[in-house]
Chain A
Amino acid sequence: MSDLRFDNRVAIVTGAGNGLGRSHALLLASRGARVVVNDLGGGHTGAGKSSAAADKVVEEIKAAGGHAVANYDSVEDGAKIVQCALDTFKGLDIVVNNAGILRDTSFQKMTQEDWDLIYRVHVLGSFRVTHAAWTHMRDAGYGRIIMTASASGIYGNFGQANYSMAKLGLHGLAQTLAIEGRKRGVLVNSIAPTAGSRMTETVLPPDVVAALKPELVSPLVAWLCHESCEETGSLFEIGGGYVGKLRWERTEGALFRLSRPMTPENIRSKWSVICDFGRSTHPANITESIQPILGNVGTAKGKGGNEFIDVDEALGYEFPPVESKFDERDLSLYALGVGAAKDPLDTRELAYVYEMSGEGFKMLPTFPVAPALGAVFALAKEGKQAPGLHYGFDRVLHGEQYTEIRGEWPRAGKLRQKIKIKDIFDKGKGALVISAITTTDDAGRELAYSEMTTFVRGAGGWGGERGPSADVNVPPDRKPDAVVEEKTSPNQALLYRLSGDWNPLHADPGFAKNFGFERPILHGLCTFGFAGRHVVSKFCPNGDPRFFRSIKVRFAESVFPGETLVTEMWKESDTRIVFLTKVKERDKVVISNAAVELFKELPRPAEKPAASATPAAAAPVDRASFGSADVFTAIEDHIARRPELVAKVGKVFVFKLSSPDSAWTIDVKNGSGSVTPGAGAADTTLELTDADFLAMTSGKADAMKLYMGGKLKIGGDVMASQKLSFLQKIDPKEAAVAVAKKRGGATSTSTSTPTSTSTSTSTSTSTPIFKALGERLAKNQGLAKEVGAVIQFDVKSPDISWVVDLTGPGAVRQGTDAKATAVLRIADADLAGLCKDPGQAQSLYQHGKLRVDGDVRVARKLGFLKDLA
């Protein structure tokens, strides 16, 4: 690379008689520059004046064959120095503002003169020289200016208050000059040198000063002043052979919502965030500097709140999952708590509380609310509240409750409850906080979903969203289709609280008095359980609680234990019962706006779909995946392979299985033996649950123990059942192959798939959206054409499906379509957002919140949903 030359460039170096200035001048001159060597000739404290220093430097330059002229003006007369350059060398390209003095003293002792003098020489001087040069450089379209700053200015230094002020002031000046000069080719930089000069002699030890030669600083000045250097507005530290560049670093900082008062306490609480350089940026200009400020102003308006509730912070918060266990005892205790089996001879009710009941033990379907609320209480006990919710339990009233069965419940097991703050509404005086609680088993299978609406007294009034206000589940104007009247017992609350709601309000007379109740009141959820049970008894086919799908109630009034509950019910459809519950003694409605939804058909336990399309290619099926139908297939195969069994066994067995119900006849008596679905004439009848049957035939449960435990009932020839021992000899490999063949060959008869019908619930927000879409499509025929596909939307929580047919003129209907181009699955809660901005589709999809079967590309064309919510 070629040498950096300054031929024909004219430079002013102020304070060039000694030290750094002298070194800069010599270097620039040695490389061809014509240099105005300015020096007042004073001492380093600014006293005195002589021409000797500048003259000596000029002589030195000339002796080396360079061009230079001496100038003895004060930098405060900057225009004269500039004029000297223009007069002598007919131009000016470079200004190195170097002149400086020290007046070190502690701030306490500092005089006005100390302050003014430093200001005048450093700041005013640099201003005057630069200002005089500025117009010339701008007009010429070229200039290089150096400001001499100092580490004392950047970091501070004891005894140099005046100097620190001046030095960092120069960098501030340089930064703005850099901006103003950039377009005119005038580049301005600052250096913070450390060199052994007359000025540093006072602060550094002599041996260090000797090593810090000015010659180790000047090369940076020369480079920054060269025409090939494009740097501007920058600050460099240099000395002793080190050169480095500085920039600003700023923490990512904290953002405060503008809708809230910003207090010193807010600042204190976020102090560690404000000061955390773990996440930081390097703003390089005002635009970058102001970016987070404008960003906050633009986005942090927020949803509002007050001292009780910060909606933005709380909304969407999900608590860490809460785990719990339950078993038959908990199911029974809950059922007793809500008044089940008052008549111990009522076999249907007995099934809720007696695990060996002949009817088959059944869970009272409102039970899932108990572990869900139990989780809420567990968090409360640990003092865990969602961020942004700052109110105590004393303000809280349970307003509404929705609970839905989402999967088949075992009789015992582990549960995991996930609680999320789903909605917060401002009701004026009070606030509504809606928590969504998802209950899964330990394998993650969803078992239930609940929404608990709490009314928080005195916490409203921030002017936020009021939420839905329409009265739902209003009974029709006719006599109820069914009425159940039932007296609660005086100790009902004491029994119910054992299912997890320990609030003393329901047990402690003194506590209740403090709340203004003459005695402890019944749990709202206890009344809820009574009412649910009433609906089941009247409207579930055969009183079978497994038809129960969901329940939604509003708590209107307290109940005292011992009062009589009257539940009035209206059948709106086969799957929907509207009801209300009153207290007979006081004729007050205690549960209003309530409904129970039923399954149209009994939900079946989920089974794996058929394994293979063709029997020939069927792979053996893992034993663990067998359903009971598979076991009978294996038995059939076993008997067919061993015709000698008929002679050995010589009996007909009928298995009656429950949950789900099925019946099978195993004939090992007639012909070559057979296995057929349905119950025929039998020597021996065996009754047990489907699950126990599977456990027994896979060797996990012992038939004798099941029998002794009352789980297996044997009718007819009890002794003949011992001949069933042949079942234990089934070859697992043969069974696996047989089942695979059967599954592959007979897809329609082998297993039935779950057919839980999806009915719309009143809480779905999708209905108005899709209705509006229908209207939009009718108005704007072109919309459909743009997409040209059939899209099925499966909206979840609550579940409802819609088909949007955009192949013809465009049509919307509720339901499903097997020929849909794509099936889009999305949570009800996310649908509104998608409608607001269909551009979100990709992000929702990539996040897994919009699931797509079929051709994903239709999800790119959801513009037709815009603004429907």
Chain B
Amino acid sequence: MGRRVNVIGVGMIKFSKPGQSEDYHVMASKAARAALADAKVPYEAVEQVYAGYVYGDSTCGERATYEVGLTGVPVFNVNNNCSTGSTALMLARQAIAGGAAECVLALGFEKMEKGALGIKYDDRESPIGKHAKVMVDVQGFTQAPPAAQMFGGAGREYRWKYGAKKETFAQVSVKARKHASNNPYALFNQVLSLEEIMASDEVFDPLTRYQCCPPTCGAAAAIVCSDEFAKKHGQTSPVWIAAQAMTTDYESSFETSMIKMVGYDMTVNAGKKVYEEAGLGPEDVQVCELHDCFTANEILTYEGLGLCKEGEAEKFIWDGQNTYGGKVVTNPSGGLLSKGHPLGATGLAQCAELVWQLRGTAEKRQVPGARVALQHNLGLGGACVVTMYRKD
């Protein structure tokens, strides 16, 4: 696919709880400036902006970048549910790869409300109506937050298939909290024990409260550019995107499987495409940021991305293969579970973490010898973006 695309600058702000954040345009502009500073390029050099967010009226992207500068640059607003951030990144990459621009800003931000995700427009067909129907057919509908019912239901199905214990799900959160304790940008820095996670309020069996990502406010940004542009700005060995793919729902999403309904096949196929394009496999990846909106989805994603074999996630977890010293460190940032999940920003925050990891500047979180990084960002509705990064 076209020209090589590099990520020469990333930036993000510390994620915060709803009600305690700055307004979206302030958060977004801070993240954008941080990315520009990291790339050492002026805003004037940016030829296009892809601005991702889910909640807000139209053209928030423009309003956000106006805090950075009024250069008349084209701004595209991007909205793709939880995979919004990486969708913006993908568009930015396409612009560079196809030769439409030399330097592009991908920006993601979100100012969320307290409480679980809900429906904003109830006078029209819900974009996840088809998905919800599968759920209602398989397991009915209860008072729990809908997303928790969907991913929790997938967790139930996983347990039914492979017999994983509830504690295995909780252990994913133990790891997430542990990783996040070293991340100054994360919402939660406190470690939690397995007992505390198990004892927290049940949201939807097998998920307890600490196994659900919190509503979060935040912003993150990335500067992507061509080889020529990088060279011109003194970046001799930048992190580059080795492969990237997006998938949306297949027929299998709407059959009778909760696991498939929450996008398992989107993950599998996006992963396959990326491995093919990059000529590398899951065994070559040292560090991975993946979409752990709920612990259940992290478990499914291990298998979907081929980090472990199907049905073997439980062993993978208890053997510690998903953390430092294991096969691949998953979510060194703390993931959505602990770093937080501001929908529009998540995909770019994942990107920022992986760029830092490949540069070797992730400080306490550094995965030793990280050369190949994998990013997985998934939204119900739905889209899944998988990206592989490398540094030479």
Contacts and interface: CB of A to CB of B under 8 A. Distances in A.
Contact of A851 (B153, B157, B205): B205
Interface string A836-869: 0000001101111001111111011000000000
Contact of A610 (B142, B192, B195): B195
Interface stretch (B47-55, B160-168, B318-326): B160-168
B196 A845 contact: no
B175 to A, nearest CB: 14
A608 B159 contact: no
Nearest to B143: A444
A64 interface: no
B126 interface: no
A608 B160 contact: no
Given A619-B190, A848-B139, A612 B156 contact: no
A851 B205 CA distance: 8
A612 B140 contact: no
Specify which of B162, B165, B193 lies most central, judged by the most chain A CB atoms within 10 Å of its CB: B193
A611 interface: yes
B258 interface: yes
Contact of A846 (B153, B191, B193, B196): B153
Contacts of B138: 843, 846
Given A610-B195, A611-B193, A617-B193, A848 B160 contact: no
B100 interface: no
Contacts of B258: 846
Interface in B128-169: 138-140, 142, 153, 156-157, 159-160, 162-166
Contacts of B199: 608-609
A575 B164 CA distance: 39
B219 to A, nearest CB: 29
A751 to B, nearest CB: 13
**SS class, residues of chain B in contact with chain A:** helix
Given A853-B166, A856-B159, A619 B153 contact: no
B165 A855 contact: yes
B193 A847 contact: no
Contacts of A857: 160, 162-163
Interface in A565-617: 608-613, 617
Interface residues of B, number: 25
Specify which of A608, A609, A851, A856 lies most central, judged by the most chain B CB atoms within 10 Å of its CB: A856
**SS class, residues of chain A in contact with chain B:** mixed
B205 A860 contact: no
Interface in B95-137: none
Contacts of B166: 853
A845 B194 CA distance: 24
B355 to A, nearest CB: 31
A856 B160 contact: yes
Contacts of B191: 617, 619
B373 to A, nearest CB: 30
Contacts of B194: 613
Contacts of A851: 205
Given A608-B199, A611-B196, A856-B163, A848 B205 contact: yes
Contact of B160 (A611, A619, A847, A860): A860
B197 to A, nearest CB: 11
Given A846-B139, A847-B139, A612 B193 contact: yes
A354 B193 CA distance: 45
Given A846-B153, A846-B258, A612 B195 contact: yes
Interface in B157-192: 157, 159-160, 162-166, 190-192
A707 B195 CA distance: 39
A613 B159 CA distance: 26
Contacts of A847: 139-140
Interface in A244-300: none
A14 B284 CA distance: 74
B261 to A, nearest CB: 12
Nearest to A848: B205
Contacts of B205: 848, 851
B80 to A, nearest CB: 29
A859 B193 contact: no
A464 B85 CA distance: 61
Given A608-B199, A611-B195, A851-B205, A846 B163 contact: no
Nearest to A444: B143
Contacts of A610: 195
A129 to B, nearest CB: 45
Nearest to B158: A856
A854 B163 CA distance: 8
A281 to B, nearest CB: 16
A857 B314 CA distance: 14
B195 A842 contact: no
Contacts of A856: 159-160, 163-164
Contacts of A843: 138-139
Interface string B189-214: 01111111001000011000000000
A852 B142 CA distance: 18
Specify which of A619, A845, A846 lies most central, judged by the most chain B CB atoms within 10 Å of its CB: A846
A380 B162 CA distance: 49
Given A845-B156, A846-B139, A846-B156, A613 B193 contact: yes
B196 A619 contact: yes
A848 to B, nearest CB: 6
A854 B193 contact: no
A852 B159 contact: yes
B165 A845 contact: no
Nearest to B198: A609
Nearest to A608: B199
Nearest to A849: B140
B195 A613 contact: yes
A851 B159 CA distance: 11
B40 to A, nearest CB: 40
Contacts of A853: 165-166
Contacts of B195: 609-613
A611 B163 CA distance: 27
A848 B164 CA distance: 16
A740 B112 CA distance: 33
Contact of A842 (B160, B164, B192): B160
A855 B168 CA distance: 11
Interface string B262-282: 000000000000000000000
Contacts of B164: 856
B153 A855 contact: no
Contacts of B156: 845-846, 848
A806 B182 CA distance: 47
Nearest to B193: A612
A842 B157 CA distance: 9
A843 B153 CA distance: 11
Nearest to A854: B165
Nearest to B166: A853
A156 to B, nearest CB: 34
Nearest to B177: A619
Contacts of B193: 611-613, 617, 619
Contacts of A855: 163, 165
Given A617-B191, A846-B139, A859 B160 contact: yes
Contacts of A854: 165
Nearest to B152: A848
A846 B164 CA distance: 15
Contact of B157 (A613, A619, A846, A859): A846
Contacts of A842: 160
Interface string A607-643: 0111111000101000000000000000000000000
A845 B163 CA distance: 13
8 contacts: A608-B199, A609-B199, A612-B193, A612-B195, A843-B138, A843-B139, A846-B157, A856-B160
The 5 A-B residue pairs whose C-beta atoms are closest, nearest first, are: A857-B163, A846-B139, A856-B159, A855-B163, A612-B193
Given A609-B199, A619-B192, A856-B164, 17 more contacts: A611-B196, A613-B194, A617-B191, A619-B190, A619-B191, A619-B196, A845-B156, A846-B139, A846-B157, A846-B160, A848-B139, A853-B165, A853-B166, A855-B165, A857-B162, A859-B160, A860-B160
